[in-house]
Structure 1
Amino acid sequence: MRDLDETDMEILSLLAENARRPFSEIGDVVGLSGPAVSDRVERLREAGIIEGFTIEVDRAQLRAGVPVLVRVELPTGSLEPARERVRDTDGVEHVFVTADGGLLFYARLEARNVRQWIETRFEGIETADYTVTLVDDVEWTPSVDGVEFALACAECGNTVDSEGETARIDGELYHFCCPSCLSRFEDRYRRLEERA
């Protein structure tokens, strides 16, 4: 896998601004044809750098409730069940886990009693405390500028650089830092297939 070049980074920046931008328009900016941009985007997707294309819905336009930022402090062992519960709740748009093990999420709540809404969501899950902050305005500006991408070797976890190897095994694309890691991975893969 070769390193990402300036054109790849520019394509990523343009897609981060507007994921629905036509490839021909991106090509005009970066000096490539639409099909060439499409090929690069597909390569970035196969490499796992682009995981998908999403939309950001302005729920205010849908009259879908009051925007709030909720921070929940959880005792050890409660984080995963709480995160799963929040992630699967309608109206919750972003879920974060803080470095100190707290849970933070942005939601639009239709409930008139926020305290009751939160207590209902966490019923059966122990919580230490929570705070709710009313959000006045939200701005989301994704950026890939200044970000370095590094692929990890599927065998040893080291960074894959321009001297690395790429292989498609059973339809899946894998990246390796060196030929010996590729060889070890393929050998282990064959042994596992033989046992199955």
Structure 2
Amino acid sequence: MPDLDDIDRTILRLLVEDGRRPYSDIAEAVDLSPPAVSDRIARLREWGIVRRFTADVDRSKLRDGVSVLVTLDLEPNAVETTRAALVADEAVEHVFTTAAGSLVATLRVPSGDVRTFLAETVEFGAIRSLDVSLLTATSWSPGIGAAEFAPECAECGNTVTAEGETLALDDDTYHFCCSSCAGRFENRYDDLKSGV
């Protein structure tokens, strides 16, 4: 089973700082060749650790509403649909789901009226309580630390450890916690492909 090493973690940190950083700059920082860095980034993408490269827009430089932090206490059956509605709205920057089932979101409300925005965006009746705080500044700096590669098993959902297995089927890569899960998944995959 693959695992992250210190070079992978350094590459990830550099990409978090600047997703458009040239591979030659990264290569110099980690003492590898640019093609070796390219291979490592391709592997990180294949593993699903790097999902995409995005622009980090400083919305404080744009006039598009009032920046607020919203905490929603919701009916339990409304958490996922509310989360999906918030994620889909352009005014919403970040959405977090707590272990208690609350949603915390940062957003820029065009009119400054949070209640009206929420009533137009989510099922307002599912909100048990609402807390709104005006934001004066925000920063977002996801850290890598000493993170280890820990994907979810494609078969049973357990965390895959270093003893796990990886299968490449067609153009997709799947990770498994054990050979039994890999075998079950591969058999079902083959059956689906053959139309059984």
Q: Which residue does 2:160 correspond to in 1? A: 159
Aligned partner of residue 159 in structure 1, secondary structure: coil
Aligned identity (percent) is: 45
Matches within 5 A, 1:31-180: 31-123=31-123, 125-156=125-156, 157-161=158-162, 163-180=163-180
Q: Quick one: distance in 2 between partners of 1:126 and 1:177?
A: 38
Q: 1:191/1:130 Cα in 2 relative to 1: closer, same or farther (>3 Å)? A: same
Instruction: Specify whether residues 122 and 183 from structure 1 end up closer, same or farther in structure 2 by C-alpha distance, changes over 3 A only.
Output: closer
1:56: Cα distance to partner? 1.7
8 A contact 1:153–1:160 mirrored in 2: no
Stretches of structure 1 lacking an aligned partner (at least 5 in a row): none
- In the alignment, the residues of structure 2 paired with residue 164 and residue 123 of structure 1 have an alpha-carbon distance, to the nearest angstrom, of 42
> Aligned partners of 2:59, 2:81: CA distance in 1, in Å?
26
> What's the TM-score once normalised by structure 2's chain length?
0.87
The AA in structure 2 aligned to 1:159 is V
Cα deviation 1:26-64 (Å, max 9, x = unaligned): 000100111110010001110112111222211121211
After TM superposition, the structure 1 stretch with the greater mean CA deviation from structure 2, 133-142 or 181-190, is: 181-190
Report the equivalent of 1:9.
9
| Cα offsets for 1:1-45 (capped at 9, x unmatched) | 332221111111111111111110000010011111001000111
The number of aligned residues is: 195
C-alpha distance in 2, partners of 1:88/1:186?
34
Higher helix fraction (1 or 2)? 2
Structure (1 or 2) with the larger CA radius of gyration: 1
When the two structures are superposed, what TM-score results if normalisation uses the length of structure 1? 0.87
Amino acid at match of 1:11: I
**Structure 1 pair 173/134, CA: closer, same or farther in 2 (3 Å)?**
same
Aligned AA (2:141): T
Q: Which SS does the other structure have where 1:81 is aligned? A: helix
Determine the C-alpha separation between the residues in 1 that align with 2:75 and 2:180: 45
2-structure distance, mates of 1:177, 1:75: 34
- For the Cα contact (< 8 Å) 2:118–2:124, is it kept in 1? no
Residue 38 of structure 1 aligns to which amino acid in structure 2? Answer: S
Q: Which runs of 4+ in 1 moved over 6 A?
A: none
Counterpart-to-counterpart distance in 2, 1:33 and 1:12? 16
Give the aligned CA root-mean-square deviation in angstroms: 2.2
Partner of 2:186: 186
**CA separation of 1:59 and 1:172: change in aligned 2, threshold 3 A:** same
Q: Contact 2:65–2:112 (CA<8 Å) still a contact in 1?
A: no
